[in-house]
Amino acid sequence: MIDNKEIVLITGANTGIGFETVKALFASSKPYHIILGSRDPAKGEKAVAELECECPSSKSSLDVVQIDITDDEAIERLFEHVKEKFGRVDILVNNAGANFDAFNDASDPKKARELFNKSYDVNVSSTQVMTSAFAPLLIASKSPRLLFLTSGLATLEGAHKSYLTKLAGDVPRGWPKEGIRTAVAYRSSKTALNMMMLSWHHLLKGDG
């Protein structure tokens, strides 16, 4: 029975923190219907098989859906699917994100624009679009909850006191700073996500 279960939609849920979130909910004594969002449905099904093997007596149920949050049409299709099947989302977990810094040097002007654009597109713009699209289904819930997966690397104080120092060490004079990786595009996008999260709190605090 779905009626007695909270409907949880998690993006980027077939791996990493998203998968661990699904695992924790699936192992919980509280019943959930977990919509596991994955860009690759086959990987989503593999994740479900693993979870069902680990927790065969779970009170919760799982449903795999294809979702690439950078694809507006995919978001619209998923919205219509969830609306028709459930009519609401009780918990939306915006987990999908990406870090492109490991493969690029943001100090290179030829790469910096693409690096920042890709980081903000996935981690900020697409998350905003996803949340805006599903806001009507959240509001339809009696007890809606909206979660964003950000990063400890996104705090200005933390970056100043520890992260940048540990990562960069003693940076030599001159330009370019070859071999120095500061994850600046990823960190900046996650800091922007923090601001977006506060904005959503303000917008929806009267809705539950």
Q: What pLDDT was estimated at residue 111?
A: 82
Active site residue 162: no
Query: Taken in order 91, 75, 197, 23, is the CA torsion positive or negative?
Result: positive
Catalytic residue among 58, 163, 189, 190: 190
Please state, in angstroms and rounded to a whole number, the distance separating the CA atoms of residues 169 and 177: 12
Tens-of-pLDDT digits for all 208 residues of the chain?
Answer: 577 899 999 999 999 999 999 999 999 999 999 999 999 999 999 999 999 999 999 999 999 999 999 999 999 999 999 999 999 999 999 999 998 876 556 567 778 888 999 999 999 999 999 999 999 999 999 999 999 998 876 676 666 665 555 555 567 777 776 766 678 888 899 999 999 999 999 999 988 7
Among residues 151, 163, 188, 189, the one annotated as catalytic is 151
pTM, full prediction: 0.89
Single out the catalytic residue among 32, 126, 141, 186: 186
108 Cβ contact partners less than 8 Å away, ≥ 6 residues apart = 176
Domain boundaries, the chain: 6-204
Give me the pLDDT at residue 24, please.
97
Catalytic (active site) residue 190:
yes
Tokens at 44, concatenated: 């989503």
Measured distance CA(135)–CA(141) in Å, rounded: 10
Assign domain 6-204 one CATH number from 3.30.1330.10, 3.40.50.720, 3.30.499.10, 3.30.1490.20.
3.40.50.720
Is 151 annotated as catalytic?
yes
